[in-house]
Amino acid sequence: MGSYLFDADGRRFLDLNCNFTTLIHGHAFGPVVEALTHQIRRGSCFANPTESEIELAELLCGRIPQVDRVRFVNTGTEAVLFAIKAARAFTGRSKIAKLEGAYHGAYDWVEVSQAATPDNWGDAIEPKSTAFYRGMPASVLDEVVVLRFNDVEGVRRLISSNAHDLAAVILDPMPSRGGLVAPKPEFMAAVQESARKNGILVIADEVLNLRQSFEGASARYGLVPDLITMGKIIGGGLPIGAVGGREDVMKVFDASAGRPLLPQGGTFSANPLSMTAGLAAMRHLDQAAFAHLEILGDIVRDGIRRAISARGAPLCVTGAASLFRIHPRAEIPNDYREVYPTPAGATLMKELTRFFAENGIILPQAAASISTPMTQPAAEFIVDVFAGFIDSHHDMLD
């Protein structure tokens, strides 16, 4: 319940996973339970739109800059898939550019280089497109330009040398698997300018990072995307995804005057259970809730930083707002290549996760998340357990 969960043996854990950052209000959030109970008695899915779909769409369009229109789907994967297809339909081009190591779900084109390794990622200037699974079509690899996060010159060069073929650049403003590293303002500007100059759309994948602020992640980091993909928190714990964006781009989906440029639909898309749960969760995610999350996030990150420097441990922490990530290295990493673990680093992180679990905290590695029911003492407890880890693991940390 709330920010805690209980295992089959009745042990209590502070849950920093919250279903991969979905449950921003924790487990069994009262308003979501109530809204769902009410809705399930009235029906679980219909072919036609429902009021809750319109209300959730209005809420998102009202608070997220650049979202003039929105379409709901069932997962973040689907949101990314439709955003990329929309960019292709809008531009008439097929290639996309993406960041090395970034996760965007299971659409083939965004899986390229998601799991790049030191022996196949190529040089730093022009990263290679690497296959994600055996049998991945070579044509998919040819259709993806791989960029490096925070590499201002690289992004300019690679976007301009592929300018006429690219439909979109897709990026998560703070990629979790790229280390939850803050984007440099000049990197955001370089992506934006190079794309705009060449008629390429910018897709911000905010499936995870919409929680960065009341207005989302792009707004926080000065990016002005053409399309934004959403998911996780906007469904209140039920399956959801959404693609939103500029009116003229979203028009590719518009079926009001016959077959649209890009037909889009799905049997369970915008089902009223996901819509009502999402609406209840998002209505309670007001400015005060974001301020609370920001304060707790700072307590955790600052406390971890203090524990590291007081003990001179070769560790660091990244993240922002309600997200944080601990790294087995002293220097803040720049991108995915620096986040890629050494064998010793992987062993250390495994032990950190085990130690946290032993002390009643579930600590995911890529993105630990704070939920609104969490209290200040709980945030301080995270820091205490972390300090206890350093104090009891000198042998691994020397």
Integer angstrom CA distances of residue 333 from 24, 70, 339: 27, 35, 6
* 274 binds ligand PMP per the rule CB under 6 A: no
- Binding flag, residue 172, ligand PMP (CB under 6 A): yes
CA dist 117 and 44 (Å) reads: 44
Residue 127: DSSP 8-state: P
Catalytic annotation, residues? 103, 205, 232
Task: Report the nearest approach of ligand PMP to the CB of residue 181 (Å).
Answer: 14
Q: Is there binding between residue 208 and ligand PMP (CB under 6 A)?
A: yes
Angle at 203 between CA 197 and CA 205, to 5 degrees: 150
Is residue 84 part of the contact set for ligand PMP (CB under 6 A)?
no
3 state SS of 140: helix
Asked if 20 interacts with ligand PMP (CB under 6 A), we say yes
Tell me the residue type at 179: G
Our finding on whether 207 is near ligand PMP (CB under 6 A) is yes
Supply the minimum distance, in Å, between the C-beta of residue 164 and ligand PMP.
27
DSSP 113: T
Establish if 132 lies at the interface with ligand PMP (CB under 6 A). no
Closest residue to ligand PMP using C-beta atoms: 76
Asked if residue 154 binds ligand PMP (CB under 6 A), the reply is no
Does position 236 interact with ligand PMP (CB under 6 A)? The reply is no
State in angstroms the smallest separation of the CB of 46 from ligand PMP.
22
Q: Note whether 191 binds ligand PMP by CB under 6 A.
A: no
Min CB(230)–ligand PMP separation in Å: 9
Can you spell out the DSSP letters for 164-216? TTEEEEEE-SS-TTTTSPPPPHHHHHHHHHHHHHTT-EEEEE-TTGGGGSTT-
Cα dihedral: 53, 56, 57, 58 (round 10) = 120
Written as one letter, the residue type at 20 is: F
Please work out the total of residues on this chain that contact ligand PMP, with binding judged by CB under 6 A: 14
DSSP lists the bridge partners of residue 229 as 205, 243
**Which residues in 91-110 contact ligand PMP (CB under 6 A)?**
103-105
List the x/- string, 48-77, binding to ligand PMP by CB under 6 A.
---------------------------xxx
DSSP 49: -
Of 146 and 379, nearer to ligand PMP (C-beta) is 146
Nearer Cβ to ligand PMP (50/229): 229
DSSP letters, 333-376, are: P-SHHHHSPPHHHHHHHHHHHHHHHHTTEE--SS-EE--TT--H
Position 245 contacts ligand PMP (CB under 6 A): no
Binding residues (CB under 6 A) for ligand PMP: these are: 20, 75-77, 80, 103-105, 172, 205, 207-208, 231, 241
